[in-house]
């Protein structure tokens, strides 16, 4: 597609439920990133994929968070047993190779997750 | 202490004003500096990136980096209502870095 697509755009879930967030990167972008944006805070790095491997998972806040990627395509971020502090906008970005540091990221519009 | 500090604002200015947005950082390893613009309910989009200390100009936007003071700025000249958005600074240690470190963002409103 023309841009990074994320779904759903909004998700309201009950505390304790599992949620899956989806990211469709730009075709041909080998690198994919997940960030979290909580209200009043900067973007927090969660995980980085190069192809379908994740060489950097250092930002995942707990073992309730996991992510996978199929080939150089769709990625899914899963949050198990959601807590209220998980409420945030989850942003996905993709780029060619790992050149994000030079501004090669293209971000999606995010999934706004609300845990009630 | 956060690695990147940015005043969240909000900042309101009249149309045509010069806007100054700033970030400070603590990690001297940061080498690459970026400014992103984020409209409501949208993802951030890259405005400018710089590598070295000094100024970089692109149209109405000027990015300034002072590595000795660990201070970066974005200036917007002749501000327009369409510039109303949240501006985030971001920085990285190296070209191949896997992640960027972001400021909290400054919300700017340009009043017609």
B7-55: pLDDT as tens digits: 888 999 999 999 999 999 999 988 889 999 999 989 999 999 888 788 9
Distances (CA, A) of A24 to A72, A73, B57, B76, B100: 10, 6, 33, 33, 21
Please give the residue that has the higher pLDDT: either A113 or A104. A113
**Residue A98, pLDDT score:** 57
pLDDT score of B70 more than 60: yes
> CA angle, A53 as apex, A48 and A55 as ends, to 5°?
50
Task: Identify all chain A residues contacting B50, using CB atoms and an 8 Å cutoff.
Answer: none
Residues A103, B103: C-beta atoms closer than 8 Å: no
Show which of residues 61-90 on chain B sit within 8 Å of chain A, judged by CB atoms. 88, 90
Q: What is the pLDDT of residue B7?
A: 87
Window 29-48 of B, Cβ < 8 Å to A: 32, 34, 41-46
Q: Is the pLDDT of residue B94 over 80?
A: no
Contact A102 B4 (CB under 8 A): no
- Looking at CA atoms only, how far is residue A81 from chain B in angstroms? 26
pLDDT of residue B37: 96
Q: Which residue has the higher pLDDT, B98 or A114?
A: A114
**Per-position b or e across B37-64, b if 16+ CB within 10 A of its CB:** bbeeeebbebbbbbeeeeeeeeeebbbb
Closest CA to B30 of B52, B55, B59, B1: B52
Beta carbons within 8 Å of A39's beta carbon, 6+ residues apart: A88
| Neighbouring residues of A53: CB distance < 8 A, sequence distance ≥ 6 | none
Instruction: Give me the percent of chain A exceeding a pLDDT of 70.
Output: 92
Q: Distance of CA B58 to CAs B16, B31, B48, B49, B62, Å?
A: 17, 20, 8, 10, 6
């Amino acid at each position: 597609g023309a841009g990074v697509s994320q779904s759903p755009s909004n998700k309201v879930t009950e505390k304790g439920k599992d949620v899956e967030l989806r990211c469709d990167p730009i075709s041909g972008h080998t690198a994919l990133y997940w960030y979290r944006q909580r209200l009043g805070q900067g973007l927090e790095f969660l995980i980085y994929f190069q192809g379908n491997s994740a060489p950097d998972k250092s930002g995942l806040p707990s073992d309730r968070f996991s992510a996978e990627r199929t080939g150089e395509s769709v990625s899914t971020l899963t949050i198990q047993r959601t807590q209220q502090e998980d409420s945030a906008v989850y942003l996905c970005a993709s780029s060619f190779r790992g050149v994000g540091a030079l501004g090669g990221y293209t971000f999606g519009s995010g999934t706004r997750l609300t845990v009630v | 202490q956060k690695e990147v500090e940015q005043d969240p604002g909000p900042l309101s200015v009249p149309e045509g004003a010069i806007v100054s947005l700033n970030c400070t950082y603590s990690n001297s390893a940061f080498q690459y500096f970026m400014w992103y613009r984020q409209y409501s309910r949208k993802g951030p989009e890259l405005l400018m990136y710089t590598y070295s200390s000094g100024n970089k100009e692109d149209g109405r936007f000027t990015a300034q980096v002072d590595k000795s003071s660990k201070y970066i700025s974005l200036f917007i000249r002749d501000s327009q209502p369409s510039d109303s958005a949240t501006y985030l600074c971001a920085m990285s240690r190296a070209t191949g870095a896997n992640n960027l470190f972001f400021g909290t963002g400054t919300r700017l409103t340009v009043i017609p």
